[in-house]
Amino acid sequence: MTVDIAFTAEEQAFRDEVRAFASQRVPATIREKVLTGRHLTRDEHVTWQKVLHARGWAAPAWPVEFGGPGWSAVQQHIFDEEMALAGAPRPIPFGLTMVAPVIMKFGSPAQQKRFLPRILAMDDWWCQGYSEPQSGSDLASLKTRAVRDGDHYVVNGQKTWTTLAQYADWIFCLVRTRTDGKPQAGISFLLVDMKTPGVRVHPIITLDGAHEVNEVWFEDVRVPAGNLVGEENQGWTYAKFLLGHERTNIAGIGASKRELLRLKNLARVEMRDGRPLLESPVFASRVAQVEVDLMALEVTNLRVLSAGRSSADRSRRDLGTVASILKIKGSEIQQAISELLLLAGGPYAAADVREARGQDGGGAGLVGPAHAAPLAASYFNLRKTTIYGGANEIQRNLVAHAVLGPMGG
């Protein structure tokens, strides 16, 4: 099944350039891990980002003045798709596509000069300090405090579900700097060095046996006031700006196209009742449905990109609603593909990623085909996609409010 999406000759030439680069420069060990759904190490992520940085492609969405390639939105879409299909890792988003745009738009020149080049070169690994034990979807209720003390803020509190904080050099945090008035009006955006005394990281081992998320504790952590982004008590504005970028990125169209191809290939070799699983009418219809949904998502995304090229003002105005739509459907498609992969793998899929790796880290000693081992762990891990970046239920409320207006209005 295909859909005819017309690209210009220049865009097709750009696709060929990206495809050739990816085929030559993605390390074989990294490619094999990505294409089989296995976890990468910190060093492997950093190695690949430095390869991209050397080519000038580390930050596809960055403008030229900050070291980006200055690509159009369509070029960024093509780059994401080709890299995913080639088995390149998705970039760690916290620095490149989350905090960096905030620093570009709201940060001081000194902050831009200090942080952006190191993000671009992957010299600093960033993590996100938003969610708290009682403040997830209701992020405005966060309680981590930052009290001004001379030239510093003193931070106390706790963040949770902090992805890859065990690797991070820096964390960008939403902190409460005022307790009176509307909750959203007392939040600030602070950059914290993870090596600062009083910062503690506690692992959270998830259902798939992986150490991907953490609790981060702050106990009298002294943060230079120069690490405040923008103005005090204006962090909610910056957080909403960042979440628009995060939700768009969560859609993961390129990665879903790669996983759909993986699903089809697996279903052609997995046998049920003496015939390939993909020939089962029930299974084939489910694959077809998710493929149609993915095509529709890609076309929607390209329509947004095209509208942005012709009407920048409209694109900016509608970004929040569009980002919510892309996040909802993109995350649901990721989950649907992971479920079908799990069904295709059958009883040989290992529920725990430690079992999938085996004692030597390579899956040694597993019963059944190696390609089936990581499928259950991946399925469990992807249950989170409809929650993080703003739960899908909340995103539907935001879309309804934007399109239909307030209830009863």
> What is the number of other CB atoms lying within 10 angstroms of the CB of residue 182?
9
Residue type present at position 407: M
**For residue 385, which amino acid is it?**
T
Q: Note every long-range contact of 42-48, with CB atoms under 8 Å and residues 24 or more positions apart, other chains counting.
A: 42/125, 42/164, 42/167, 44/89, 45/89, 45/92, 45/122, 46/122, 46/125, 48/88, 48/89
- Both tokens of residue 119? 């993000």
Residue position matching structure tokens 């034990």: 133
Which member of 82, 246, 270, 355 is catalytic? Answer: 246
Active site residue 44: no
The pair of structure tokens assigned to 384 is 């989170």
Residue at 53: amino acid letter: H
Could you list the active site residues?
Answer: 246
